Structure formats: structure tokens, C-alpha cells
Amino acid sequence: MKKLPIHNRTYKAFLLSFKEWLGILGYSRSCIKYSPLYLREFFHWLENHGHYGLDTVTYKVISDYYQYLKQRPNESYGGALSNHTLNNHISAIKRFNEYLKKHNARPLSIHLRSEKTDKLDATDIVSQEEIREMFEAAHHSYVMPHVCLRDRAMLVVLYSCGLRRNEAVHLNLGDVLFGRNRILARRTKNGRERHVPLNDHNMEILEEYIYDGRPIFYKADQTEALFVNQQGGRMGGQSFKLRLRAIIKATGNPELMERRITPHKMRHSIATHLLENGVAIETVSRFLGHSSLESTQVYTHLIKEEL
């Protein structure tokens, strides 16, 4: 979406102003980042269909665009876009409509309902045996050993720590507290820092990466980022997803490779495994950084269904 070209000056101005407006209103970082990207795809489609101004965008035009989205391939995984992604597109256009209203512009005619999203099910959970396979596969997931060490450290923060992808991306070297067997998650969803405990084995994996693997990355000594990419910068969220996919491929497990395992599903997995092993739901909730128990209870429902 980021690379989709738009030529209309009004559309370009809308994108810049819309993003600034989201920031002023205090929307989340992910919303500020991705809503303009969804809107860019909408503008790109409008231009390709002869709509160089919003005055020609009718209810039918938006309905036709939504039908296009339903048929557009998923660039990351193949197949169609998920209901969750479709809802993100709808939300971005609705937010833009609110922006138009607040700026005394003619609003768009939108009557789109959100799609039902599939609830969490067993296919979203990586089993403990599959987790062991992934850690083992990370020994040979890339031709360069220092990348393999980074892959193992990445599994530690995504699974063993249950961090969200954005939390993992923004970890710094100083956030690994060796003397306390803790990781400090700073860039959390609710804005509250939290300490995540780790056992000695996982701390050894992080230590091996930090002292033996990380220094080999280009310009690693010039950044505080825990996870460094091949260009010497902070490893991004997309890179986490791609490396996770490479680790899964290295397992040689065809069933695991067929499932769309994402960094967030690793978080789902550790939550489920902790509850299965008798950890109190209140403890799991604090571990995950949930603001309420309601967010954690989805895992208890899943375990009951499996039983």
C-alpha cells in the first residue's frame, strides 16, 4: 500500500492533513501509521477509475471499491484479504469521513458494515512441541550463524516473553536486565511499562545473541536497538514476520507451514500454555500487559472448547 502512486494534489494534501489530524486527536501509533496507508489505496483506486475528486465519489463507488477489496489478493499470505484487514480498510475510510466533517467538507456516503472476524481457535495456537521444533530449527534457519542467533532471541521475546510485535521491535539493549532475569517492555499498547520474567535458559539465548551474534551485524555498535537488521538499523515489524516465516519453513513441518503463524499468534500460544499449566489468569493478564481480565479470558474459553 505504501508504494501505491497517487497523482492528484488534493488527494496528496488529504493524506498529509489526515495523518496530522489523527496525531492531534491522540489516536494510537498504529492507527496513525496505517490509516493513511489504507486511505492511499482508496485514492489510488479512485484515480484508476477516473475519480480525481471526491465530488464524484458516490455510495455505489465506495461499494464497488469494497467489492474490489474483497477480491484483492493478500500480498503477504496469498488468498483473499482477511475480515480483520477488510474492517481496517472500512475504519480508515470512516475516520477520513469524520475528518471531512470536522473540516466542513462534504462527507462521503458510506453504509458499509464491518465483517465478522473469526474468533481465536486452536489453529491460531502453536503447540508446545511445535515451539520446541521452532527453537531447534532456528539453529539452521539461515546460512549466517549470527542471524540464527538473532532468530532464537526473537523467538524468546515473541513466545517466552509474549511481547507484541511493536514491543519487540522497540526493545533496546538496556531493556534486557540480566541481573534480574527480566525484560523491560517500554513501548506497550496501553502506555504502561512492564517487567517480563525469563528463566535462565532463555536469558542464555539472549546473552549469546547480544555478545556473540549482534556485534557481527553491520554498524551494530551505532544503535541501541536490541534487534539489528542487515543494514545496521532497527529491525522492523515486517522483518519479524518474515524471519518467523523462515524459521517455520526450516522446521520442515508441513502442517505448521500451512498455518498463518504470525508474531501475535506466538503471544496467543504462550498465554494458552501458561493457563494450561495452571498459572492463574490474573498472573497471565499481568504477564501479557492486558488492561483488564476480559482480554485474557478469551484464552480460557479456547481451552474449555479444546477440552
pLDDT in tens, 159-172: 999 999 999 999 99
For residue 304, is pLDDT > 90?
no
Q: Are residues 126 and 96 in the same domain?
A: no
Please, are residues 99 and 18 in contact by the beta-carbon 8 Å criterion? Answer: yes
Residues known to be catalytic: 164, 189, 264, 267, 290, 299
Q: Are residues 27 and 142 in the same domain?
A: no
**Distance between CA atoms of 302 and 120, rounded to whole angstroms?**
7
By C-alpha distance, which of 305, 264, 300 is closest to 285? Answer: 300
Write down the pLDDT at residue 220. 94
**Distance between CA atoms of 157 and 135, rounded to whole angstroms?**
12
Of the two residues 17 and 4, the one the predictor is more confident about is 17
The grid cell for 141 is 534457519
For residue 67, is pLDDT > 60?
yes
**Residue 293: pLDDT band by 50, 70, 90 thresholds?**
confident
By C-alpha distance, which of 200, 143, 191, 151 is closest to 170? Answer: 191
**Distance between CA atoms of 270 and 86, rounded to whole angstroms?**
27
Please, are residues 6 and 44 in contact by the beta-carbon 8 Å criterion? Answer: yes
Mean pLDDT of 77-88: 72
pLDDT tens sequence across 186-215:
888 777 889 999 999 999 999 999 999 999
Only one residue has cell 479512485, namely 46
Q: Are residues 91 and 139 in the same domain?
A: no
Write down the pLDDT at residue 259. 79
pLDDT tens sequence across 220-269:
999 999 999 999 999 999 999 999 999 999 999 888 888 789 998 999 99
Q: Are residues 85 and 128 in the same domain?
A: no
Q: Are residues 27 and 81 in the same domain?
A: yes
Write down the pLDDT at residue 109. 82
Q: Are residues 163 and 90 in the same domain?
A: no
For residue 78, is pLDDT > 60?
no
pLDDT tens sequence across 11-63:
999 999 999 999 888 776 778 888 999 999 999 999 999 999 999 999 899 99
Could you say which DSSP state residue 163 is in?
A: -
pLDDT tens sequence across 134-147:
999 999 999 999 99
Write down the pLDDT at residue 116. 52
| Domain containing residue 63 | 9-102
Q: Does 2 fall in a domain?
A: no
Q: Are residues 148 and 14 in the same domain?
A: no
For residue 307, is pLDDT > 50?
no
For residue 3, is pLDDT > 80?
no
CATH number at residue 85: 1.10.150
Q: Does 162 fall in a domain?
A: yes
Q: Are residues 74 and 172 in the same domain?
A: no
Write down the pLDDT at residue 241. 93
Among 70, 102, 134, residue at a domain's last position: 102
Q: Are residues 85 and 185 in the same domain?
A: no
Q: Does 273 fall in a domain?
A: yes
Q: Are residues 92 and 126 in the same domain?
A: no
Write down the pLDDT at residue 113. 65
Q: Does 301 fall in a domain?
A: yes
CATH number at residue 298: 1.10.443.10
- The fraction of the chain above a pLDDT of 70, given in percent, is 91
Pairing mode of beta strands 182-185, 176-177: antiparallel
Q: Does 261 fall in a domain?
A: yes
Q: Which amino acid is at 254?
A: P
**Distance between CA atoms of 225 and 202, rounded to whole angstroms?**
19
Q: Does 116 fall in a domain?
A: no
Mean pLDDT of 76-93: 76
Q: Are residues 95 and 136 in the same domain?
A: no
What values do phi and psi take at 185, rounded to 5?
Answer: -90, 115
Q: Does 245 fall in a domain?
A: yes
Q: Are residues 79 and 126 in the same domain?
A: no
Pairing mode of beta strands 176-177, 194-197: unpaired
Q: Does 113 fall in a domain?
A: no
Cα separations (Å) of 173 from 185, 215, 223? 12, 12, 9
Number of domains making up the chain: 2
Write down the pLDDT at residue 81. 76
Among 102, 130, 165, residue at a domain's last position: 102
Only one residue has cell 557481527, namely 216
